[in-house]
Amino acid sequence: MNDNQVRIGVIGVGHLGQHHVKHYKTLDNVELIGVFDIDRERSSEISKKFDVKVFDNLNSILEKVDALSIVTNTEHHYKIAEKCLKSKKHVFIEKPITAMIEEADKLLSMAEQNKVLIQVGHIERLNPALLALNKYEIKPKFIEIQRLAPYTSRGTDVPVVLDKMIHDIDILLSLVKVPIKKIQATGLSILTDSIDIAHARMRFEDGTVASVMSSRIARDEVRKIKIFQKDLYATLDLLIGSTEIYEVVNDKTSKYKMTIPFDYKGNTKLIGYHKPDLSKGDPLRMELENFILSIQGKQQPIVSGKDGRDALEVAIKIQEMIILDKH
């Protein structure tokens, strides 16, 4: 596609969908054509708030756009995306890509056949604390991730593995680029009929081990990552936006402003400490801008349909293991 404006529609204008509308209204090279939501009252509210047209059904908006954001409950992702892709429309699908891996595979096939792209909204990939790692040579050997949140009814249409943990699965797969060799998982239902708290331990084929904990019944919100590798330790707080790096260095003339000596087997070594400055961009806005530029052929999707599918596959394996473990 050339540099002309990309005509965009938003399907689903609930809590997250409204933010898609907000950003599309002000992005360059975007014409926000309108929105569609089965909740007419909500659609009307968003229409007035952002001065955007409301469509009565999916077919009517499909006729007017080049691409769509799908921001509905997970159970509806496949049917909506299927219709969009068969109409040769690009789609941005909020995570998880679909409820079942078979659905995701079908969507990837449809996108390839119709020469359109799928991008998946794993927003944490654009968290400034994670982006800061791009300046370092990260080769993890052990990763520990915690994602805890107080209970809300939002998101309970899927288990915590597909609601919360899938973010961290996607991060893991982006950091460790080899297949997973073994998964162990356990979890519990506390407040809902679904899994509310889950823990998974994953071993990758290169020996890397990851421990991931997710809960939606915590008192306080926590989103932290610890990365351990030879001569380097990184700690990230995705909630407050903070990254700290500790690295073994050879001398005080290194790039680190602060160094701490330590003795090992009679030799004195130095640990360099660095807290990099983080970018100030809005992760969702950056995602949607990347989606537009990818449609125009100027960039590649930060999280492709294949990435979303692979994260879903691991999440489903973990969920199935938890169910078997409970019984």
Q: In which domain, by residue range, is 159 found? A: 125-281+314-326
Look at residue 1 in the predicted model and tell me its pLDDT: 47
Map tokens 């806005």 to a residue: 285
Same structural domain for residues 98 and 163?
Answer: no
61 & 138 share domain: no
Q: What letter does residue 23 receive in the DSSP assignment?
A: H
Is 308 within the bounds of a domain? Answer: no
On whether both 156 and 274 belong to a single domain, the answer is yes
Contact 228, 143 (CB under 8 A): yes
Residue with tokens 């080049």: 66
CA distances from 266 to 32, 200, 263 (A): 66, 39, 6
User: Are residue 92 and residue 67 in the same domain, yes or no?
Assistant: yes
Mean pLDDT of the chain: 94
Domain contains 256? yes
197/275 same-domain check: yes
Do 265 and 132 reside in the same domain of the chain? yes
Q: Are residues 68 and 141 in the same domain?
A: no
Q: Is residue 233 part of a domain?
A: yes
**Could you report the per-residue pLDDT of 254-297, keeping only the tens digit for each?**
677 788 888 888 888 889 899 999 988 999 999 999 999 999 99
Burial of residue 69 (number of CB atoms within 10 Å: 0-12, 13-18, 19+): buried
Report if residue 309 sits inside a domain. no
Instruction: Clarify whether residues 182 and 129 are in a common domain.
Output: yes
141-178 per-position pLDDT tens digit? 999 999 999 998 776 777 899 999 999 999 999 999 99
What pLDDT was estimated at residue 169? 98
263 & 291 share domain = no
Determine the Cα–Cα distance for residues 41 and 223; give it in Å rounded to an integer: 34
Model confidence pLDDT, tens digit, residues 173-210: 999 999 999 999 999 999 988 899 999 999 999 999 99
Residues 110 and 170 in one domain: no
Per-residue confidence (pLDDT) for residue 327, from 0 to 100 = 53
Note the pLDDT of residue 326. Answer: 64
> Domain of 276: which CATH number?
3.30.360.10
Give the total number of structural domains in the chain: 2
Residues 205 and 242 placed together within one structural domain of the fold? yes
Is residue 75 within a helix (H) or strand (E), and if so which, with residue range?
Answer: none
Mean pLDDT value across residues 23-43: 96
Q: b/e string for 7-38 if b means 16 or more Cβ within 10 A? A: bbbbbbbeebbbbbbbbbeebebbebbbbbbe
